[in-house]
Structure 1
């Protein structure tokens, strides 16, 4: 379990993390989301003691990371895949870590097999691709068989097979009762593996919720209805937990709290003609973008030039909102 209480980190006048309160519980995959510059990496660094909080505290399994006598067996972390001596082989890198905790060679060989590194275990890590470097970093995180696993952007550089492997690994670790805390910019992957979400923006907590609830709040369970008698349909559908929105006198309504099937059956029961009945689909990415719209620090800009279609082209330049 990871517990943060009023966790704050300042660098001079810059507040990178601003009073975060959250708990990452065992037996579930918790996604850690936020735009670039939101404070995710700084928060993870404070969890494992690489950065000291300016104020507040963070505990892993009831203690500060530095207070654990065998930290690799408490929390396994991947924060930077390339933080490996380039001249050392994958096997020797893992053995060096194992010696610090009395971990046997058999466990090193086990995690090498688990992460698919058998064919390159004797090669220098400096020659590894980004994907192989990720696998080695994950092997190091799993080396102590920790109760808590924390991975920062673990699918970076992985091919489709590797992404599927990570997905199965994370869900498997959670099913074993471990605490799994993972950051990612790939919303589609987070939607597939995460049960709970912690979303931050500009260092502050924006949401501590489930994937389903975040999507629901963004209108993910809403049903679009068009009818010639909206006033009567409102009366028919009204009830506990049902919310109906729409302009007065307009034929179109947005209904939450009822499925399209339930709405259709109630309308038919009262002989109310429907012109349209469709479920609005909102992805986790759309819900995330909606939630973090005012917390994005860097925005792409469009130039005045156009392509052959006359549509403005987007540059690769990022512009800081604070400087705009």
Structure 2
């Protein structure tokens, strides 16, 4: 289990993480999300004892990371996959890590096989592609067979097969009862991988909830309706539900919020209104995320004219 309690970090008078508290529980994949500059990397570094908090406390499996006698067997971490001596082979890199914790050589062979690197285990890391380096970083995180994993952008550089592999791996590790915290900018992948979400913006907690609840609470559900009697249908729907939101996106097309397809269809039938299209739309995680963080983005591109 991972606990962050009122974490605050200030650099040179600038506060990048402020009063941040959350818990990552075993048995779930928790997505750690936020815009660029939100403080995700700083928070992960504080969880791992690489940065000391200005205020607050972070624990992993009941104690500070540095308090574990054999950290690799408690917490597997991936913050920078290419932070590896380029002259070493993948096998030697993992062996060096294993020796620091008294792990057997067979465990090195196991994680090389698990991550698909057995065939290149004796190649120097400097010749690895971005995806291969990422797999080696994940192998390092898994080396101690830890109960907790903290992974920063683990799918970065992976091909589609690799993305599917890491998604399946993370889900299987959580199913074993492990604690998994993973950050990513790929909302579509988080929607498929994560069960729970912790979302921050400008160093503050914005949401600590499930994926389904975040999407449902974003108010992004709507129904697209195409009818030659758009004005009549709008009038009929508002008569029944005055607080509904109905937007005319074209002369014959309405976007309806606050009523589902069944209700709209029944109302149209009761008033003899022909419908050419009735298409429900549920907000994606990306849309929900954008709505939640729109006021916490430091750098926004201009919209094309």
CA deviations 1:32-68 (Å, max 9, x no partner) are 1111111000100111100010001111111111111
Indicate the residue corresponding to 2:200 in structure 1: 200
Provide the rounded CA distance (Å) in 1 between the counterparts of 2:158 and 2:289.
23
Q: Which residue of 2 aligns with 1:38?
A: 38
Query: How many aligned positions are there?
Result: 296
Q: CA RMSD in A?
A: 2.5
Equivalent-residue separation in structure 1 for 2:169 and 2:238 (angstroms): 47
Structure 2 residue aligned with 1:306: none
Determine the structure 2 residue equivalent to 1:280.
281
- 1: CA distance, partners of 2:274 / 2:177: 48
Match of 2:155 in 1: 155
Q: Distance in 1 between matches of 2:145 and 2:85?
A: 23
Equivalent position SS for 1:7: strand
Alignment of 1:137-176 (within 5 A): 137-176=137-176
SS in 1 for 2:300: strand
Matched, 1:219 2:229: no
Q: What 5-or-longer segments of structure 2 have no aligned partner?
A: 248-252
Q: Distance in 1 between matches of 2:99 and 2:257?
A: 60
Q: Deviations over 1:243-289 (max 9, x none)?
A: 73348xxx967344x642x3256437855746463312322112211
Unaligned runs of 5+ in 1: 303-310, 313-324
Cα distance in 1 for partners of 2:175, 2:220 equals: 27
- Secondary structure of the residue aligned to 1:298 is coil
Helix, strand or coil at the partner of 1:8: strand
- Aligned-residue offset at 1:87: 1.3
Question: Matches of 1:299 and 1:57 in 2, distance apart?
Answer: 32
CA contact (8 A) 1:233 1:272 kept: no
Query: Aligned equivalents of 1:69 and 1:13: distance in 2?
Result: 34
Partner Cα distance (1:59, 1:270) in 2: 60
Q: Distance in 1 between matches of 2:164 and 2:34?
A: 23
* More off after superposition, 271-280 vs 197-206: 271-280
Please tell me whether the aligned partners of residues 32 and 182 of structure 1 are also in contact (alpha carbons under 8 angstroms).
yes
CA distance in 1, matches of 2:159, 2:223: 37
CA spacing shift, 1:132–1:154, aligned 2, 3 Å: same
